[in-house]
Amino acid sequence: MKTLPLVFEEPKGPRGPKPKPPRHLADMTPAERRTHLEELGLPGFRARQLSTHYFSRLVDDPEQMTDLPAGQRGELVEGLLPRLMTPLKTQEADKGATRKTLWKLFDGSLVESVLMRYPGRTTICVSSQAGCGMACPFCATGQGGLQRNMSAAEIVEQVVAGARALGRGEVAGGPGRISNVVFMGMGEPMANYKAVIGAVRRLTDPTPDGLGMSARGITVSTVGLVPRINQLAAEGIPVTLALSLHAPDDELRDELVPINTRWKVAETVEAAWNYARATKRRVSIEYAMMRGINDQAWRADLLGDVLNSYGDWGWVHVNLIPLNPTPGSKWTASDPRDEREFVRRLEAKGISTTVRDTRGREIDGACGQLAAEG
């Protein structure tokens, strides 16, 4: 196995820092949007109209922004709604209920988002970084390293683009709305904290300042950057935290989730527990089931004991993910019998447990498959 170094900082280009994505209203607070227009010599009050087009009406064609003076429309749109990304490819699965889009960002970086429609809810899985620096050996994104952090607006735009497609009835099942956003695409959200929080604020701010979504519908998934989990708990936005644990013991987790060499299982689970206490939100423990690696009955017992050592008041839910083998991977998914036994043992310890569905497998749209090959 080749080992990649853990990367926290954005890599620098050959000539210093890389150029930043264009600034977009979704990067800014409403007050900053006004100031930004004024600095461009444009009337600040137009910011609210542009925000309404973007967040409430989900308009992307300037022609439809007829409340803006035709002579100024171009400048206004360029000032606050610059194009951030272009779709390169869309793939569908599950009879159109799952849709993966490959996006090209302003600098050529590639990222993916996946829209999943279920009866009664529609979830979009978004990327927060181009690539990822966390180097988990079983994850496709982890194999390519980190290219760069995404901006808040680049994150939000994936959701808005999905909302537009749904609103226009382009997704099987007729017109609809997005109810859930999960930060489970490419990247480690907590390693791009500022932009991710900015994006969460834009998603939850009431329209037209933001998309007006409920924080309860948003899940931020992390390998466990402990100081960031603590910081998120203090933000006062009760998003759901998902912790990618994958092993209950340090020996194995050091290998599967290399950040564990920095923050151990005990510290990481304690941070998750503190998060649950602070936000009153149940934490989700993600556990990709790998045959013969982390799926033994004794590990199920140990996982249950580790989680219960913080209390058995239902602070935690375990989400088992059948491993999606990446090309050339030495690991495969668990035997269904071992999976059932794992569930049984966790439930016997009073821990609510589900096995995640495997939406989008055939389009590599499932967990950990987002590698943006183009």
Question: Of 184 and 372, which has the nearer Cβ to ligand SAH?
Answer: 184
Residue 286 Cβ vs ligand SAH, minimum distance, rounded to whole Å: 4
Query: Which residue's C-beta sits nearest to ligand SAH?
Result: 368
Residue 244 Cβ vs ligand SAH, minimum distance, rounded to whole Å: 4
Residue 78 Cβ vs ligand SAH, minimum distance, rounded to whole Å: 33
Query: Does 268 engage in binding with ligand SAH (CB under 6 A)?
Result: no
Question: Of 48 and 317, which has the nearer Cβ to ligand SAH?
Answer: 317
Among positions 4, 37, 160, 184, the unique one binding ligand SAH when judged by CB under 6 A: 184
Query: Does 223 engage in binding with ligand SAH (CB under 6 A)?
Result: yes
Of 30-38, 44-52, 134-142, 337-345, which part binds ligand SAH (CB under 6 A)? 134-142
Question: Of 79 and 360, which has the nearer Cβ to ligand SAH?
Answer: 360
Contacts of 229 (CB under 8 A, 6+ apart): 190, 222, 241, 243, 268, 271, 272, 274, 275
Helix, strand, coil shares, percent, the chain, to 5: 40, 20, 45
Residue 149 Cβ vs ligand SAH, minimum distance, rounded to whole Å: 13
Residue 305 DSSP SS3 = helix
Residue 166 DSSP SS3 = helix
Q: Which two tokens mark 241?
A: 């935290």
Query: Does 113 engage in binding with ligand SAH (CB under 6 A)?
Result: no
Among positions 25, 323, 351, 372, the unique one binding ligand SAH when judged by CB under 6 A: 323
Our answer to whether residue 367 is catalytic in this structure is yes
Length, in residues, of the chain:
374
- Please report the beta strands in the chain, taking only residues with DSSP state E, as ranges in sequence order: 85-93, 98-105, 110-118, 121-125, 129-131, 146-149, 180-183, 218-222, 240-244, 283-289, 316-322, 352-355
Among the options 188, 341, 367, 373, which is catalytic? 367
Query: Does 138 engage in binding with ligand SAH (CB under 6 A)?
Result: yes
Q: Which two tokens mark 156?
A: 């939000």
Query: Does 115 engage in binding with ligand SAH (CB under 6 A)?
Result: no
Q: Residue 321 in contact with residue 288, Cβ under 8 Å?
A: yes
Which amino acid is residue 8, in one-letter code? F
Residue 353 β-bridge partners:
318
Among positions 188, 255, 295, 364, the unique one binding ligand SAH when judged by CB under 6 A: 188
Residue 303 Cβ vs ligand SAH, minimum distance, rounded to whole Å: 15
Q: Residue 306 in contact with residue 265, Cβ under 8 Å?
A: yes
Query: What phi and psi values does residue 232 have, to the nearest 5 degrees?
Result: -65, -40
Among the options 112, 154, 255, 286, which is catalytic? 112
- Applying CB under 6 A, the site for ligand SAH has a residue count of 17
CA distance 329 to 140: 9
Residue 298 Cβ vs ligand SAH, minimum distance, rounded to whole Å: 22
Burial class (CB in 10 A: 0-12, 13-18, 19+), 30: middle
Question: Of 68 and 233, which has the nearer Cβ to ligand SAH?
Answer: 233
Query: Does 221 engage in binding with ligand SAH (CB under 6 A)?
Result: yes
The catalytic site residues sit at 112, 367
**Positions that interact with ligand SAH (CB under 6 A):** 134, 138-139, 184, 188, 221-223, 244, 286, 288, 321, 323-324, 326, 367-368
